[in-house]
Amino acid sequence: MKKLIRSVSLVGTFGLLVLGLVACGNKKVTSSDTSSGYRNSISEGLDAFAENKMSKAITYFDNALTQKPKDTKAKAYRDQAQAYIDTNPQLKAGEVQKAVTTITSGVNIKNGAKNLDTKLAKLKTTAKADLAEYKQLDKNVTAQLKVTDGNYSSDVLKQCKNID
């Protein structure tokens, strides 16, 4: 009789264990789980952007969009970060007009984050100043090309040498 009770309790315990494991494996993802992941992705993306880790920020914003594909806030943040990323190489490549266009579209994004707006506005100021400098240099160099007597302006030559 003791063996029978022991066997039944062992089988019952094993059955409860299996039932518990099956229940854990069937956990459904709730909307609050998704919401929490979304909020975390947005927060981490904004933190990464503040630390100038733009590619990382985009990854977080993309993750937020995976969880809420039609979310306008996550899309705006991602587009702002992408405009920032795209502008810097354009400036370095001397594509200043293109950089101004790119950053202007980033600045004009609606529903963006304030700190992203601020960084974009600063970069836009830099890009516009670079564009003004390039335009002035173009005028100066064009004028120098018309000089036929060899009296070139040393200031224009210095400007050309200092281009970075």
* C-alpha closest to that of 76 among 115, 130, 124: 115
> Is 14's pLDDT higher than 70?
no
Query: Rounded to whole angstroms, how far apart are CA atoms 60 and 47?
Result: 10
Q: Which residue has the higher pLDDT, 30 or 102?
A: 102
The label of the residue with tokens 């920032």 reads 84
Mean pLDDT of 49-58: 92
Q: How far apart are CA 56 and CA 44, in angstroms?
A: 9
- Among the ranges given (56-60, 63-67, 109-113), the one the predictor scored with the smallest mean pLDDT: 109-113
Mean pLDDT of 66-89: 94
| Region of poorest pLDDT, from 1-15, 65-79, 140-154 | 1-15
